[in-house]
Amino acid sequence: MPNPSHQDINEELRQLQRDYIKKLPGRVTQLVEAWTSNLAQPKEETLQDIYRQAHTIAGTSGVLGIDEVSQAARAIEQVIKERESNDSLSAEETSAAQHSIDILRELSTSSEIKIREINLQRR
Amino acid sequence: MSHNESLERVLYIEDEEDIRIVADIALKTIGGLDTRCCASGPEGLATLETFPAQLILLDVMMPGMDGPSVLSEIRNNEQYQNTPIVFITAKVQADEVDQLLSLGANAVISKPFEPMDMAQKLKDIWEDFHRA
């Protein structure tokens, strides 16, 4: 069987990006649900869950070239990681995380989401 | 230490399926490396029983068994005591990198990584490891 051409691989990567964007609203909804639950009843366990979800979205989006989503998720991750108290966020930390969650939610359902092409040409 | 062996076999343990797919393309198709991608620490440890990886790439944050726990298990296996292990993580602050290296890793790659540069990066780490 011949090796796939760069064109084939590029198309496979583009398809992977498109499929990921379709999955993104569901993943963000899960994160928002955990966030809402934490606002109602702050718990260290829920904060850890939000941290893990934001970390995963940030990492995968970054690798797949969905950079704005990656940055918004990374900002949530950072706020939680650097929080002063283990089991809750301060008003300032809550506000910063909420801001990034709003951005993430908007981006995840936007039809104009920016996708950086994963180019096979070495730089 | 001198060596004549080139890097051919890589094991990557990563819980995120989309990243595994990109890494598989980057390492296998682009980099020409015989690559196995596993979704969890236990799966990776089982794979090492039959796939003699020369270099192991390990995600840090995974559900269940995290990267440092997997590293510790790998180092308990005599066959892999000296195998280079590379952590891949978003935690790139210097003190966190130092902490990961102190666990016995040989290098740390930051995530998100550039998929098309990944194979070359691992080959460079492999060369540095044998030059040391």
**Confidence (pLDDT) at B82:** 94
pLDDT averaged over every residue in chain B = 93
**Confidence (pLDDT) at A2:** 54
**Residue at token pair 């029983």:** B49
**Confidence (pLDDT) at B91:** 61
Domain coordinates in residue numbering, chain B: 9-131
How many alpha carbons fall within 13 Å on the CB side of residue B15? 20
Nearest to B112 among A13, A52, A62 (CB): A62
**Confidence (pLDDT) at A120:** 63
**Confidence (pLDDT) at A4:** 72
Which chain B residues touch A120 with a CB distance below 8 Å?
30, 116
Q: How far is B13 from chain A (nearest CA, A)?
A: 15
Residue A72's domain spans which residues? 8-108
**Confidence (pLDDT) at B1:** 47
Instruction: Say how many domains are in chain A.
Output: 1
Going by their DSSP bridges, the two strands B55-59 and B85-89 should be labelled as parallel
Measure the N-to-C terminal CA separation of chain B; round to a whole number of Å. Answer: 7
Average pLDDT over residues B47-75: 96
Sheet holding B55-59, edge to edge: B34-38, B9-13, B55-59, B85-89, B107-110
Q: What is the ipTM of this complex?
A: 0.85
**B120 at interface of A, judged by CB pairs closer than 8 A:** yes
Chain A residues 74-113 with CB within 8 Å of chain B: 74, 77
Average pLDDT over residues B94-102: 91
Chain A, chain B: beta-carbon pairs less than 8 Å apart: 54
**B111 at interface of A, judged by CB pairs closer than 8 A:** yes
Quote the crossing angle between the two packed helices A67-81 and A44-63, to the nearest 10°. 150
Is position A93 within any domain?
yes
All residue ranges of chain A with pLDDT < 50 are 1, 123
Is position A26 within any domain?
yes
Q: Indicate whether this model's pTM tops 0.95.
A: no
CATH of the domain spanning B9-131: 3.40.50.2300
Domain with A12 in it: what CATH number? Answer: 1.20.120
